[in-house]
Amino acid sequence: MGKLALAAKITHVPSLYLSELDGPHKGCRQAAIDGHVEIGRRCRELGVDTIVVFDTHWLVNSGYHVNCAEHFEGVYTSNELPHFISNMSYACPGNPRLGRLMAEAATAAGVHTRAHEHTSLPLEYGTLVPMRYMNGDQHFKAVAVSALCTVHDLADSVRLGAAMRRAVEERYDGTVAFFASGSLSHRFAQNGVAEQFMHRIWSPFLETVDRAVIDMWQRGDWKTFCAMLPEYAEKCHGEGFMHDTAMLMGVLGGEDYRGRAEVITPYFPSSGTGQINVVFPV
């Protein structure tokens, strides 16, 4: 049946868009943009038709949700950082069938998930920013999964990811990539000093833990990483409480995964947070 072709943890920092614009920060995130372009190129080479994004900017307070409208189009301004992303146009086809299949599989696995096909729900910038650089020509369909889960268990998110992979492989006729769209540590710079931290991490502790995690990924020490994920998410201010990462671990097989991560864009700080583009072999 279907195939999982590529999995990745990706950055979506709004300074990627700022990096395009004339001004003092022009070009500052070119390496991350280039990383997105490379991941998109690999998806094309592998025959991917749909990218599923675990989006840590889609906040939900109950249940799990899939945005699988037929088509997405509009003009986006970030309500969090309107001085970074303002009036950014976007257009992207969706995949209602895949969204329904994944929601059904997750629900059958005991993680109640709703698919939203006929909806006015917009995409959030955890999806829009990477799609801008990977999918400007609308080559890929996109499906977004809520991953800023405020009252949810990480273990349920792992089960959701595993079920969604099964849906692809057992019920879908196509080729899919899964992306966890979120940072490593995510402690934003304190208000009033944000400019000083545009290219800095908030604290040496956060960078030390982030780099230790990247080392685990590159060595394939998934047992250690999966065991520490809940505490890492808590003590390092994980974006979306790191539900995107838990979902991706479910897709990959959790502590039984045997791949070794390939860093596409090396670790970089942004507004106090820790960022990376990294591919996980499947």
User: How far, in Å, CA of 91 to CA of 114, rounded?
Assistant: 23
Tokens of 26: 């022009």
Residue-range definition of the domain harbouring residue 13: 3-280
Tokens of 93: 């086809």
Q: What is the pLDDT of residues 60-107, one digit of tens each?
A: 999 999 999 999 999 999 999 999 999 999 999 999 999 999 999 999
Q: What is the pLDDT of residues 216-269, one digit of tens each?
A: 999 999 999 999 999 999 999 999 999 999 999 999 999 999 999 999 999 999
Q: Does pLDDT of 1 surpass 90?
A: no
The residue-averaged pLDDT of 145-160 equals: 98
- Partners of 274 in the β-ladder: 269
Can you point out the beta strands (E) in the chain? Answer: 3-10, 50-60, 64-67, 71-76, 88-93, 113-116, 141-149, 175-181, 262-270, 273-280
Residue 65 backbone phi and psi in degrees, to 5: -140, 150
Q: What is the pLDDT of residues 158-212, one digit of tens each?
A: 999 999 999 999 999 999 999 999 999 999 999 999 989 999 999 999 999 999 9
Q: Does pLDDT of 273 surpass 90?
A: yes
Tokens of 119: 């909806």
Residue 102: its pLDDT value, please?
99
* Angle of CA points 40, 57, 9, to nearest 5°: 40
Q: What is the pLDDT of residues 69-80, one digit of tens each?
A: 999 999 999 999
Domain of 208, CATH number, reads: 3.40.830.10
- Domains identified in the chain, total number: 1
Residue 191: its pLDDT value, please?
94
User: How far, in Å, CA of 214 to CA of 105, rounded?
Assistant: 31
The answer to whether the CB of 277 falls within 8 A of the CB of 31 is: no
Distances (CA, A) of 31 to 115, 138, 215: 35, 22, 20
